[in-house]
Amino acid sequence: MVSLDEQSVQDLYDSLANGSYKSIVLVLGAGISVSAGIPDFRSPGGLFEAVKEHFGEKFPKLMENPEHLLSRTFCLEHPEIWENEVVPMLRSWKLEDAKPTMTHKMICWLHNQGWLTRVYTQNIDGLELHPEIQELSNNYSEYSKSIVQAHGSMREGTVVLYGDKLSKSFYKACEEDFSSDKNNVDLVIVMGTSLQVAPFCSIPNLVPKNATRVLVDPCPSRVISLNSW
């Protein structure tokens, strides 16, 4: 992993603006939505803190393992609580006032230029498909097809729970983007994710060896994967 100096970063910006990259894949995580007022799950004020506050007294296990609330096991064991309490909380949690950030708008700009191949996002806030982005897009139907919400969407009630497999659309997109003779991806940008959740974390390794891979993260050392992917 090579850290970029200020000039190298500027050169990257210039290359993007000048259209040097024609097939760009973005790999996104919670970090890109922090400036929209949505902290990542594990940070203070994040979803796991809310889980403990709302459900910790009723289910003490969640105080140590808040992820369990978002598991298929919990959903099946407590269907009424899931439907009447958990789902409404997920759909409303910090989403009503959240607006797309400059990063989300940049994604749409790349699409409008014809350079965006795919966006793979772990985020379940749905900001990549927010109405404001729809207004910015010159072809929203095509733009929306380029967005793969690997873990679903809270807005749409399609969140992929712990213990679930990723959707078929995720694997279909990977097949189309990386497993054909037309695999011409020349740039992958990773933003806002520590790449620790498989199989999502494998995406940067699927691009051609001669493609440029850029990691945007304030603490890049945390992204060094400790799993077999």
Q: Which residues are catalytic?
A: 151
CA dihedral (164, 168, 174, 180) positive or negative: positive
In the numeric block, which tokens belong to residue 100?
A: 């797309």
CB distance 195 to 202 below 8 Å:
no
- ∠ Cα 150 140 24 (to 5°): 55
Q: Quick one: 52 exposed, middle or buried, by C-beta within 10 A (0-12, 13-18, 19+)?
A: middle
Beta bridge partners of 149: 121
Q: Which secondary structure element, helix H or strand E, spans residue 121, and what is its range?
A: strand 116-121
Which residues have C-beta within 8 Å of that of residue 169, sequence separation ≥ 6?
148
**What distance in Å separates the CA atoms of residue 208 and residue 191, rounded to the nearest whole number?**
19
Which residues have C-beta within 8 Å of that of residue 217, sequence separation ≥ 6?
31, 190, 191, 192, 194, 223
